[in-house]
């Protein structure tokens, strides 16, 4: 009986990193982002003076305080109106979009239902706007700690909503329940929506959110494919 000589595969450093990310849920995709605590909170493209930013932050904190300790429906609506007013005056202030999205979630947490269709669309719009305003022009550009935290939170929040939308889309296709997705997602396949969620989780993790790092791997379509191949190989091995 001839012996079989096995050789260890030669992987490039990039291939090794990809495989590590696929099979290790604890691996961190955050490398490559430079967080510089000496930078101004927001990039120059936001076009708001330091003095205005101080006043804006104070207004924002006052509104957020009103939403603490289980606020009433009317209090939440009033807070949203205040964010509307603030953003009408300063439409390039990223943080207020994030906080308005959070307030909208408090207004009606039953997302993707016909009665909450407008709220769902506005939440997606606010998260997307915040991401657009806070994302550096070049991926290699350093970001401030405030900027990184917002991008981590916004991408993770949107990723969670996209993952929920993907599951809803599967239910809609099965005619199991009545749901209404935002217009931008209405005709998108559930697998595609889940891939969109995976990308958001990747960026959420890249900017420092630990939960997003794990979810990025768990929802990665290539990781799922590799996992399925491994499971099938093990099944065949066990059953001969």
- Residue 26: the pLDDT is 40
pTM of model > 0.75 = yes
Residue from 91, 167, 168, 104 nearest 133 by CA? 91
Residue 206 resides in a domain: yes
Residue 16 resides in a domain: no
List of long-range contacts for 125-132, beta carbons under 8 Å, 24+ apart: 126/97, 126/98, 126/100, 126/101, 127/97, 127/98, 127/101, 127/154, 127/157, 127/158, 127/161, 128/158, 129/94, 129/97, 130/94, 130/95, 130/97, 130/98, 130/101, 130/154, 131/155, 131/158
Task: Give how many domains the chain has, as a whole number.
Answer: 1
Residue 1 resides in a domain: no
Residue 10 resides in a domain: no
CA atoms of 227 and 211, how far apart (whole Å): 20
Residue 194: which CATH number? Answer: 1.25.40.10
> pLDDT digits over 159-189, tens only?
999 998 888 888 766 665 566 788 888 888 8
CA atoms of 134 and 145, how far apart (whole Å): 11
- Residue 153: the pLDDT is 94
- Residue 172: the pLDDT is 66
Residue 52 resides in a domain: yes
153 contacts 209 by C-beta, under 8 angstroms: yes
Which stretches of the chain drop beneath a pLDDT of 70? 1-32, 109, 172-179, 221-240
CA atoms of 27 and 95, how far apart (whole Å): 29
> pLDDT digits over 37-73, tens only?
999 999 999 999 999 999 999 999 999 999 998 899 9
- Residue 27: the pLDDT is 42
- The parent domain of residue 50 ranges over 37-238
Residue 94 resides in a domain: yes
- Residue 183: the pLDDT is 81
Of the chain, the end-to-end C-alpha distance in Å amounts to 21
Residue 30 resides in a domain: no
- Residue 214: the pLDDT is 85
Residue 159 resides in a domain: yes
3-state SS class at 164: helix
For residue 203, CA distances in Å to 23, 38, 60, 207, 223 come to: 18, 22, 25, 6, 17
Exposed / middle / buried, residue 167 (Cβ in 10 Å: 0-12, 13-18, 19+) = middle
């Amino acid at each position: 009986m001839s012996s079989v000589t096995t050789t260890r595969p030669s992987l490039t450093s990039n291939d090794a990193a990809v495989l590590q990310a696929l099979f290790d849920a604890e691996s961190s995709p955050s490398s490559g982002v430079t967080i510089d605590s000496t930078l101004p909170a927001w990039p120059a493209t936001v076009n708001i003076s330091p003095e205005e930013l101080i006043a804006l932050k104070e207004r924002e904190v006052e509104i957020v305080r009103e939403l603490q300790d289980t606020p009433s429906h009317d209090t939440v609506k009033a807070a949203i109106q205040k964010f509307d007013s603030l953003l009408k005056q300063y439409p390039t202030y990223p943080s207020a979009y994030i906080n308005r999205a959070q307030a909208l979630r408090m207004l009606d947490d039953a997302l993707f239902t016909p009665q909450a269709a407008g709220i769902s669309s506005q939440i997606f719009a606010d998260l997307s706007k915040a991401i657009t305003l806070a994302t550096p022009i070049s991926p290699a550009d350093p970001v401030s700690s405030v900027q990184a935290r917002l991008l981590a939170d916004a991408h993770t929040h949107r990723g969670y909503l996209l993952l929920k939308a993907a599951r809803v889309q599967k239910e809609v296709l099965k005619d199991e329940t009545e749901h209404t997705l935002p217009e931008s997602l209405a005709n998108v396949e559930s697998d595609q929506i889940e891939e969109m969620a995976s990308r958001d989780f990747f960026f959420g993790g890249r900017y420092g959110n630990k939960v997003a790092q794990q979810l990025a791997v768990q929802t990665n379509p290539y990781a799922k494919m590799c996992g399925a191949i491994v499971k099938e190989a093990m099944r065949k091995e066990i059953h001969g």
